[in-house]
Amino acid sequence: MSACLPDIEAFILIGGRSSRFGSDKAFAAFGNETLVARAVRTVNQALSPLQTNLVVSRDEQLTSQSLENVGCSIVADRRPGLGAWSGIDAALAHARTNWVLVLACDLPLISAEFLQLLAGRANGNVDAVVPRQPDGRLQPLCAIYRLATAKELLKIFLEDASSLPPVGAMFEKMRTCVVAAEEYGGLANAETLFSNINTPADLTAAKELEYHQSSDKI
């Protein structure tokens, strides 16, 4: 890892219900690897993190799929049923470094170069680094959090789990570095980085995007 980047522990969220996908999408094939394996590879190429972990949403998933070849530690939600809040809570509870990368496995076109850009913005003046997608929304599931600040804030939000706001509400309470689309627009395929896989059709579309992007490079 570049000396200018902070020590980071990575947590890849693989445990969503995948109700629209019809099966555990983390294990869907994307080229010659699964979505979860692709996310692990991208993170390791980008950051050489001190540890890469998988966050699952329910204990049953530990036995429903083989994770032996992924080579990561596995942690389970402490408070399942809260969507993205559950995954972030599990990541922060198990983290050991000052900075924590949280990445959803269903963003297969996120690149190593993009993750390096985010990591480069993590410094003593901020508590979180989050990208703003081209559609204007913040993406908390491809973001970097300062452990101590985020844990304390999450504790406050989760005190009333019955009325949780969108996860993006956290950034209003932290010193947040928002990385605008213009700032990563020079990266390869910047306009498709946040292609999200919710359905089989989304997966097919993302595969086609990558195929055409790869063909353009030849």
pLDDT in tens, 173-217: 999 999 999 999 999 999 999 999 988 899 999 888 887 776 565
Give Cβ neighbours of residue 156 (< 8 Å, ≥ 6 apart): none
Q: How far apart are the first and last CA of the chain?
A: 28
Given a cut of 90, whether residue 59 has pLDDT beyond it is no
Q: What whole-number distance in Å separates Cα of residue 19 and Cα of residue 22? A: 5
Residue with tokens 């949403």: 57
Residue 1 lies in a domain: no
| pLDDT computed for residue 1 by the predictor | 45
For the record, the structure tokens of 123 come out as 């410094």
| pLDDT computed for residue 56 by the predictor | 83
Residue 71 lies in a domain: yes
Q: What whole-number distance in Å separates Cα of residue 166 and Cα of residue 163? A: 10
| pLDDT computed for residue 63 by the predictor | 47
Beta bridge pairs of residue 53: 11, 73
| pLDDT computed for residue 69 by the predictor | 66
Give Cβ neighbours of residue 39 (< 8 Å, ≥ 6 apart): 12, 14, 103, 104, 105, 107, 108, 110
pLDDT digits (tens, 9 = 90+) for 134-159: 999 999 999 999 999 999 999 999 99
Lowest mean pLDDT, pick from 65-69, 124-128, 181-185 = 65-69
**Higher local confidence (pLDDT), 218 or 184:** 184
User: Domain count of the chain?
Assistant: 1
pLDDT digits (tens, 9 = 90+) for 1-53: 444 678 899 999 986 555 556 467 888 899 899 999 999 999 999 998 888 89
Residue 3 lies in a domain: no
| pLDDT computed for residue 195 by the predictor | 93
Residue 2 lies in a domain: no
Residue 129 lies in a domain: yes
Domain, as residue range, for 209: 8-217
Cβ contact 2:116 at 8 Å: yes
Please state the pTM of the whole predicted model: 0.90
Residue 204 lies in a domain: yes
| pLDDT computed for residue 21 by the predictor | 62
What CATH number does the domain containing 107 carry?
Answer: 3.90.550.10
Residue 54 lies in a domain: yes
Counts of helices then strands in the chain (DSSP H, E): 7, 9
Cβ contact 168:107 at 8 Å: no
Taking alpha carbons only, the member of 135, 149, 197, 156 closest to residue 177 is 149
Q: What whole-number distance in Å separates Cα of residue 88 and Cα of residue 64? A: 22
Tell me, what amino acid is at 5? L
Residue 92 lies in a domain: yes
Q: What whole-number distance in Å separates Cα of residue 171 and Cα of residue 174? A: 5
| pLDDT computed for residue 6 by the predictor | 80
Q: What whole-number distance in Å separates Cα of residue 177 and Cα of residue 165? A: 20
For the record, the structure tokens of 79 come out as 């408070």
Over residues 79-86, the mean pLDDT reads 90
